[in-house]
Amino acid sequence: MSQTNSNSAPEAGTKPLLQIDQLGKRFGGFVALDGVSLEIPQGQRLGLIGPNGSGKSTLVNCICGALQNETGTIYFDGEKVNGMVAHQRTRRGLARSFQLPRPFMSMTVAENMRVPLMYTVNARSGTHMSHGELNDRCMELLSLVTLHEKASHMPTDLTQVEMRKLELARAMAADPKLLIADESMAGLSHSEVEDIVALLIRMNERGVTIIMIEHIMRAVMTFSQRLVVLVSGKKIADGMPEDVIQDKEVVGAYLGS
């Protein structure tokens, strides 16, 4: 198993933001996660890869609270989050985007941003943004994902890559410490993939730790400071991307010979 320099990203801090210890999850007799352990320091860009059925989605769902793990422990920002449901973890700064964006189709792009913004501020601080503050924050996030000029448009007016950008912006509205981007580039063209990778790097430069789940290897290699590989519910490699992709076990189990 490759374990080379697993926390060696130059931009990352040394304190683990996310710590997973011996995580296990079963569905009946099927073992979806088998003793997965992982530490991610603040500020790191981590790529998570593996073949279909490897346990990636189960791991993410356990981290985010959509599923509850049966064994093992998850710590986020120094706090044990086992047993917490998804919205409780979101309030603590753990957000995710989904492969299939599902915006409110009857709302404009800007209105789609205001909903999570209002939820985040109200839930965390108990205060309310003024209309001006809400609008400023909304436009700031839309500018980050280059959708500010389409603030008044409906989601049906957006292209596929713009829908992915809106999904990421909605996740950023939660003001996350950790963002899990789940296959944000599936089905996109080469230039669109590069656009999303650049966007995720910009988000990371704003201080957000990011886990990217992706099958497009050129995107994974461009984005990742560290690479983790899951196969059959087990972590088989964890280290620098250039080392991991040459690991014999990874080549045989995932990348092919």
pLDDT of residue 1: 46
- The residue type found at 209 is T
Confidence band of 8 (pLDDT split at 50, 70, 90): very low
* DSSP output for 120-186: HHHHHHS----HHHHHHHHHHHHHHTT-GGGTTS-GGGS-HHHHHHHHHHHHHTT--SEEEEESTTT
For the stretch 123-146, pLDDT in tens is 655 667 778 888 999 999 999 999
pLDDT of residue 253: 78
- The whole-angstrom separation of Cα 92 and Cα 94 is 6
Contact 96, 171 (CB under 8 A): yes
Q: Which of 24, 32, 40 is nearest to 75 (CA)?
A: 40
For the stretch 109-120, pLDDT in tens is 999 999 888 877
Note the CATH number of domain 1-93+177-257. Answer: 3.40.50.300
pLDDT of residue 133: 84
- Which residue's structure tokens are 């988000």? 203
What's the pTM?
A: 0.89
pLDDT of residue 183: 92
For 23, counting Cβ atoms within 10 Å of its Cβ (0-12 exposed, 13-18 middle, 19+ buried), the class is buried
- The residue type found at 163 is M
Confidence band of 122 (pLDDT split at 50, 70, 90): low
What are the Cα distances from residue 225, in Å, to 145, 205, 209?
A: 22, 13, 11
CATH 3.40.50.300 maps onto the chain at: 1-93+177-257
For the stretch 182-210, pLDDT in tens is 999 989 999 999 999 999 999 999 999 99
